[in-house]
Amino acid sequence: VFRPRGTARASQGFQIAAREKNKITLEDLVVEAGVDTYYLAIVDENMNEFRLLAAGHGTPPPEVPWDWRGNDGEPPEPEKNYFAYLYLKDNVGQVLAVKSDPVKINVTRQEKRQELIIVNFTFGGTFPQSPYLEGRFERIASDFIEKAVQRKQIFKVVVGGHTDIIGSPAVNQRLSLERAKREERNLRQMLIALLKLKGNKELDMWLAEHNVSIEVKGYGSSRPYKVRIWDRGYFRDVLIGNNNYPEGRFVNRRVTLEYEIVRRHRRR
């Protein structure tokens, strides 16, 4: 069975508060013989370069800004320590290598977004292309519950229906909403069964207690299926659901489960 790689670690929308702007200052740096070469960088705990700040011949600049990003534009990982590292060689061959105290990363708000295709549909229909796809619901619902029971977070879920471009926009809008409503009912029934609840009323209470919201949306053909990949320090979208081809139209006839998890962190 072919199992492609599911996820890779990357961040989007990384923001630094104005008060957290950073600069690296070289204080009391005196080299009597004169500086031949220097190298200034942010490194991790294993001395791997995270961000090259400055390098060259002659005296280094007294102050260098750092925007908290790595060489590829990626943000630092909150669980890691980072250091400012200076390597300097003077004109007679003597070497100075110094490392700063650890730079702590303080995360105040963290969001995680995930999108799953629940089912694909035959043309114009509201029933799955394959009956086996519905069997994924138990695993999806179990994963849903696992995410929902984590405390100190807000869990937003959107069940989104989609179509290809065949047909009128009004018909596709209605069809996509019908598909989403059908799969939302299936999801709720599976959650009720796994949680051993008596019905939708008890499920609504359970969702409210765990800061979980479920919304149903029909997008029609407005969102052909794309995947977002991390490429050389930037995100870019790759169109999979190209409506010019039968395979693209097939993948566009789908219902997705969109997760948004928001965690707020106390300032340390």
Burial class (CB in 10 A: 0-12, 13-18, 19+), 42: buried
d(CA 88, CA 94): 8
- What ranges do the domains of the chain cover? 18-99, 109-264
CATH number for the segment(s) 109-264: 3.30.1330.60
* 99, 87 contact by CB (below 8 A): no
Q: Is the pTM of this model over 0.75?
A: no
Give the per-residue pLDDT at 22: 77
Give the per-residue pLDDT at 166: 92
Concatenate the DSSP letters of all residues of the chain into one string.
-----------SS----GGG-EEEE--S---TT-EEEEEEEEEETT--EEEEEEEEESSPPSEEEE-S--TTSPPPPTTS-EEEEEEEEETTS-EEEEE-SPBPP--SEEEEEEEEEEEEB-TT-SSBSSGGGGGGHHHHHHHHHHHHT-SSEEEEEEEEE---SSS-HHHHHHHHHHHHHHHHHHHHHHHHHHHT-SSHHHHHHHHHHTTEEEEEEE-TTSS--EEEEEETTEEEEEE---TTSHHHHHHHSEEEEEEEEEEE----
The reply to whether 109-264 shares the fold of 18-99 is no
Give me the mean pLDDT over the 97-120 stretch: 72
Burial class (CB in 10 A: 0-12, 13-18, 19+), 35: middle
pLDDT tens for residues 19-56? 456 788 888 888 888 999 999 999 999 999 999 999 99
CATH class of the domain whose range is 18-99? mainly beta
Q: Which two tokens stand for residue 37?
A: 């070469």
* 184, 216 contact by CB (below 8 A): yes
d(CA 176, CA 159): 11
Q: How confident is the model at residue 228 (pLDDT cuts 50, 70, 90)?
A: confident
pLDDT tens for residues 169-209? 999 999 999 999 998 998 999 999 999 999 999 999 999 99
Q: Which two tokens stand for residue 217?
A: 């949306």
* 99, 84 contact by CB (below 8 A): yes
One-letter amino acid at 21 equals K
Q: Which two tokens stand for residue 233?
A: 């320090």
Give the per-residue pLDDT at 7: 43
Residue 230 has pLDDT above 70, yes or no: no
